[in-house]
Amino acid sequence: MQVSQSNGDSNEVDFTVKLSDTYYFAEGTTRDNPNDGTYEEWLCLQNPGATIANVTLTYMLGDGTTEVQKVTVEKESRLTVSVNDFLGADKDVSTLVESDQLILAERPMYFNYRNKWTGGHDVMGATAPRDTYFFAEGTTRDNINDGSYEEWLCLQNPGGADADVKVTYMLGTGRNIEETYPVGATSRETIDVNTAVGPDQDVSMLIESTQPIVAERPMYFNYRNKWTGGHDVVGAPATDRSRSGCACRTRATPTPMSPLPTTPRAGRHPDRGCHGGGQEPPHR
């Protein structure tokens, strides 16, 4: 796939999409309040087959409780589900999608992040939980040249046993910071990466869990103080040691950002949902 615009072409990337009867989404929220902003979450379900698909949506909330919604997707059709309409406002949620037919599931979200940055992001669901994930991208930059970036790590534990999740933050300075976070059974947890590593750090992450989980990394930004928005990705399940090079062709060289200070700060605010709440400052 390649995106062409008037100012140039994107990198060319090859990928394969396979249908599944099960999908997991770690990230999700229906928050709508003056501190956190407004978020609208949707599930898009495609049934390309010749048989009606009966789909069960299990919403896993931050307190470990679940809510179940059953929907039907007609053959060779699609269905869009409003998570906000089903759950109501101000819920942080991970989702398990189970179908009796092979389908494709995506989760678009649209937001006014903390009532300051607007945009949207979308991911296809993970087809299975795993105990290891990698994230190459990540930054907590906050300065007059680069703009502001707020990074989060969303962890879904769909299983029946509590998970201890070790996160190794790999900084651009070469320093590593290790933190371990508990994630309850049939629950979700969100980590504030900016708090964990401090401001103005470029960071990759290694996620290792004692139970199979799903990990996503949403980020929100004011890029170089001129473009606001957000993006999100499911973690890579493993490094690919079978390839010696990159399959993409770079069409342009990005302009490097300015050098960064090297003063990391470890930390975490306990009992935080994805977007703040209670008496704590607004976040995510």
- Domains along the chain with CATH numbers: 4-231 (2.60.290.11)
pLDDT digits over 141-182, tens only?
Answer: 999 999 999 999 999 999 999 999 999 999 999 999 999 999
pLDDT mean over 231-239: 89
Q: DSSP 3-state assignment of 167?
A: strand
Q: How far apart are the first and last CA of the chain?
A: 31
Please write the tens of the pLDDT for every residue from 237-278. 976 554 444 333 333 333 344 444 443 333 333 333 343 333
Backbone angles phi, psi at 20, to 5 degrees: -150, 165
C-beta atoms surrounding 142 within 10 Å: 16
| Separation CA 240–CA 225 (nearest Å) | 35
Interatomic CA distance for residues 149 and 143, integer angstroms: 10
d(CA 182, CA 12): 39
Q: Average pLDDT, whole number, for the chain?
A: 86
Residue 281 has pLDDT above 50, yes or no: no
Task: Report the predicted TM-score, pTM, of the whole model to 2 decimal places.
Answer: 0.80
Backbone φ and ψ for 96, nearest 5 degrees, come out as -110, 125
